[in-house]
Amino acid sequence: MLADSTRSCSGGNRIGARSNQDTCFSDMILRYKPSVSCLDVLLGPFQRNNPGVPEYFNGTASWHASASNALVDILLRSKRTGKVMLPSYTCDRVVRAVLAADCEPVFCDVDELGRMNIQAVEDNEYTGLVAVVASHMFGAPPDRSFFRQFCDRNNALYIEDCAIASYEQLFESMSSPVPDACVYSFGKGKPISLGFGGLGVIKHNDKFTVRDVYSERSYKNLSLVGGLGAIFGYTSVIWKLRIFLESHIKKLIGYKPGQAINFDRLPLILVSRSMQSCLSGLVFRALDKTDVKHLRKLSSLYRKRLGYLGEAWSEVMEKDTAPFYPLVVEDRQSLYTYLLRKGINVASYFAYSAGAEYTGKSYSGSERLAERILLLPLHDGVSEEMVKKICRLVREWVSTHEDVSAC
């Protein structure tokens, strides 16, 4: 269930480490992949203490979806259209999700940790604001008290995008004040990885239309689908069936790669939602089998290495087919050029300076962050073969780059 995370870093490489930093962590950070057995899937509907939203996320409803589609669903279920505030340093998929929900993205500059700059938020007037999406960038949570008060003053939804959140942000800090909804991602390279997909979680039902949101009860009612999937090959059958159905729907509507889709507006929605409901339950079954002690340790290392940019660094090891990203690189352009010569255009895979790309404006905080951060393309759309190739090339660059010191 759990990959060994206690590897010595003796002789390892630090990427972008400062010369006066001599701290060497003895543990390598690996993705944590919980497991669920076929028996768990089959017996899930009949177990009274089946784990659900309240236990883990202090929410009232949840459903399985990709992170971008979950955000579309949340915005649509608010039945409000208008402006949605986003950090200027964010994934372009977040912007496309806002547009898919018939809303207008507006951007706020970020601080040194990639969080929305509070002063910049206060200095701007946002007429027609319907929601704020605050991201947990690199394990650094937003200021919940501030954003809760700000959203209440402006009659806006407070949504947290926890795509790269660490353990405390997922499970331990969900106390009051809470956001109205959250988006989680468990894809490749994430601190807690199920290998694919994510969750949409609603916390305040009075602000949303929830008739189409599959809660734990609906998961139990539809778990027969999961049971059949387990009998004929575990959850991969369910996942492949859902992909098969959705791929045909995408062809019918002229889907473009990377585009966020609102499946509520498409035919065969009941079949698609049944798949999502069952997978949502499986996610909770998997999280119920997590090793809490290990996750606390992983979270601490994650914050020390990636949460604070002054000390942040990441290792790329031979056995890590999808290590944590981002990498903090002092000479990012050199690495970009090296990868490009080897046929890997990193920029073509993933773009995080979405604010500047969408508006054409300059955001100084985002620019400073982008100069130091390299986001490797280790997300769900990249094959394992490509991931291995990229990691091998990064190791080659690290071994020959004169500014990189050994641990």
Q: Is the pLDDT of residue 86 over 70?
A: yes
**CA-CA distance, 258 to 256, in Å (whole number)?**
6
For range 32-50, the mean pLDDT: 51
Element housing 132 (H / E): strand 129-135
Exposed / middle / buried, residue 123 (Cβ in 10 Å: 0-12, 13-18, 19+):
exposed
Domain ranges of the chain: 39-287, 292-400
Classified as helix, coil or strand, 373 is strand
The number of residues making up the chain comes to 407
Distance linking the first and last C-alpha atoms of the chain: 29
Comparison of pLDDT for 57 and 224, the residue scoring more = 57
Q: Would you give the distance in Å from CA 373 to the centre of its chain?
A: 17
CB 368 within 8 A of CB 386: no
**CA-CA distance, 157 to 150, in Å (whole number)?**
10
Comparison of pLDDT for 323 and 84, the residue scoring more = 84
> Which candidate, 295, 305, 297, 341, places its Cα nearest to that of 325?
305
Confidence label for 369 from pLDDT (cuts 50, 70 and 90): confident
Q: Is the pLDDT of residue 79 over 70?
A: yes
> Which candidate, 119, 160, 120, places its Cα nearest to that of 140?
160
Element housing 175 (H / E): none
Most confident of the following: 13-17, 277-281, 352-356:
352-356
Q: Is the pLDDT of residue 337 over 50?
A: yes
Q: Which of 259-273, 331-345, 359-373 has the lowest mean pLDDT?
A: 259-273
Give the position of tokens 């690495």.
335
Confidence label for 131 from pLDDT (cuts 50, 70 and 90): very high
Q: Is the pLDDT of residue 152 over 80?
A: yes
Q: Are strands 198-202 and 181-185 parallel, antiparallel or unpaired?
A: antiparallel
**CA-CA distance, 162 to 385, in Å (whole number)?**
27
How high is the pLDDT of residue 157? 95
* 346-349 long-range Cβ contacts below 8 angstroms, 24+ apart: 346/374, 346/375, 346/376, 346/377, 349/377, 349/379, 349/381, 349/382
Which amino acid would we find at residue 280?
S
205-239 pLDDT, tens digit each: 678 875 444 433 333 333 444 344 334 433 444 44
- To the question of pTM greater than 0.75 for the whole model, the response is no
E-strand spans in 267-342? 327-328
DSSP 17-85: --TT-----SS----B-----HHHHHHGGG-TT---HHHHH--SEEEEE-HHHHHHHHHHHTT--SEEE
**CA-CA distance, 29 to 377, in Å (whole number)?**
18
Which amino acid would we find at residue 204?
H
268-298 pLDDT, tens digit each: 444 444 455 555 555 666 666 656 565 555 5
DSSP classification of residue 358 = H
How high is the pLDDT of residue 234? 39
**Average pLDDT, rounded, for the chain:** 63
How high is the pLDDT of residue 237? 45
> Which candidate, 307, 328, 320, 287, places its Cα nearest to that of 5?
320
CATH class of the 39-287 domain in this structure: alpha beta
Q: Which of 15-19, 110-114, 343-347, 354-358 has the lowest mean pLDDT?
A: 15-19
**CA-CA distance, 128 to 300, in Å (whole number)?**
39
> Is the omega angle on the peptide bond into residue 34 within 30 degrees of 0, that is, cis?
no
